Structure 1
């Protein structure tokens, strides 16, 4: 028939316009289905992000933005702290790296922000704060909250280079080591920090996870500044589907994994960047809680 060629071409054109799904090598475990679909702004069974098994351990990284709220008029308040803590509680993180924390700052009522976040969750977390730089008579830096039930063996902090003081928080549990950090915006400082982090990881004979705001991206030109060094030891295991509100394709918050010669010690389950969350039946956007979204990775220890 004379029109058969046109029909075939039209069908081929339509197929080429359909959304494509990735079929190549995955950077990370399976993406959670908990954040797909749902009745936005209303009640829904979606956006709950339940743990995939009773034995799952949820690792997380979340930049607090000093709990000022990302509303266009940032302000320190107890309400903003409670809103941030509510996200951690609802996601039931077993261990979470948190960035942009203050302790003892005169202009912030000398609060201990990490402890206040822990208290607001109502979860029995051990608090590990790393004072990285002076600020208004107090300190600022990253920290880690870890459930005591994980069996914390030791904690320490390691100084990292930067135009502003930077630190690495090291938490060793019975089954793995968790590193939390917030790398500097200076490219060379991030490269040097990556070397130090690799050396710290190599000092353990168990799996090591690195979580934090790395101020770096594997998608940047040349693979970023830190990633070409970090990936000598670590692999990306968290979702990279954009971690900054208003910048859908930008990812600088990661959870990386170094197996330290024990590739079969960990079973990877699910990961996600949480942009909406179901709080007791009501789905809310998280873009006003902080200027970063929380990133989680669910694992099982074998």
Structure 2
């Protein structure tokens, strides 16, 4: 197979269901941040679908309409008359989408895997319980290693760069984001819990040309992370 060169931009953003640090719910504000990030795909966490608190609205659809991107949703739990989960917004319609359950003692978790022409992008929001996160690292690797295309994963992993869990992830993934730049809390970030990583694959060479934490200080309780990468596939 002849190798082709690609450039790809990816982001991850825990939007807290569009509720800002000023307690205002604004899909407009979150959509503005997503548009400014201007990535091929963005992993999003904490999204309501048709709940009472969101007045029956499908929040990812609201963001998709405002950004002109394609929505992929995976509910993790039943919540407040509707569902609550994670999603991906992407510029290109995916070729296939799969959902997988992940452990969550305090709240069930999920993984979305979306396949595109020349890459795979997955999204997750991991448990607050360390045992669950460590089991998830193995489950995620077992699922993603079966893909031949370059594989990327973004999400709120609820753990810090010096943790046992990140050490576990580092066995099979390269962290692409700048872990020295903090993501939480948004107003004055003190810690990093949001990441984008690439699966270690024999044939894929990945070069990170840019990694940043975007300065969104009030729109959610997290700041989004973004990477621009080049690779041959």
Give the TM-score normalised by structure 2.
0.91
The counterpart of 1:61, out of the listed 12, 24, 30, is 12
Q: Which has the higher strand share?
A: 2
The counterpart of 1:293, out of the listed 181, 199, 223, is 223
- Cα displacement (A) at 1:239: 1.3
Alpha-carbon separation, structure 2, partners of 1:229 and 1:247: 28
Structure 2 match to 1:119? 65
The counterpart of 2:197, out of the listed 256, 267, 283, is 256
The 5 Å alignment of 1:124-163 reads 125-148=69-92, 152-162=94-104, 163=106
Structure 2 SS opposite 1:108 = coil
Contact 2:13 2:224 (C-alpha < 8 Å) held by counterparts? yes
Is the radius of gyration larger for structure 1 or structure 2? 1
Q: Which runs of 5+ in 2 are unaligned?
A: 1-5
Structure 2 residue 40 is matched with structure 1 residue 94: yes
Contact 1:243 1:273 (C-alpha < 8 Å) held by counterparts? yes
Contact 1:206 1:262 (C-alpha < 8 Å) held by counterparts? no
Structure 2 residue 155 is matched with structure 1 residue 204: no
Structure 2 match to 1:278? none
Output one character per residue of 1:241-288: Cα deviation in whole Å (capped at 9) or x when no partner.
000124534000000111321232x3321110011xxxxxxxxxx211
Q: Which runs of 5+ in 1 are unaligned?
A: 1-54, 276-285
Alpha-carbon separation, structure 2, partners of 1:233 and 1:181: 16
Runs in 1 of length 4+ with deviation above 3 angstroms? 246-249
Alpha-carbon separation, structure 2, partners of 1:293 and 1:188: 26
Output one character per residue of 1:169-194: Cα deviation in whole Å (capped at 9) or x when no partner.
10111111111010010111111111
Give the TM-score normalised by structure 1.
0.71
Structure 2 residue 218 is matched with structure 1 residue 272: no
Contact 1:132 1:166 (C-alpha < 8 Å) held by counterparts? yes
- Cα displacement (A) at 1:87: 0.8
RMSD of aligned Cα (Å):
1.5
Contact 2:52 2:80 (C-alpha < 8 Å) held by counterparts? yes
Structure 2 residue 121 is matched with structure 1 residue 164: no
Alpha-carbon separation, structure 1, partners of 2:89 and 2:147: 21
Alpha-carbon separation, structure 2, partners of 1:191 and 1:247: 28
The 5 Å alignment of 1:174-253 reads 174-219=117-162, 223-224=163-164, 226-240=165-179, 241-244=181-184, 245-253=186-194
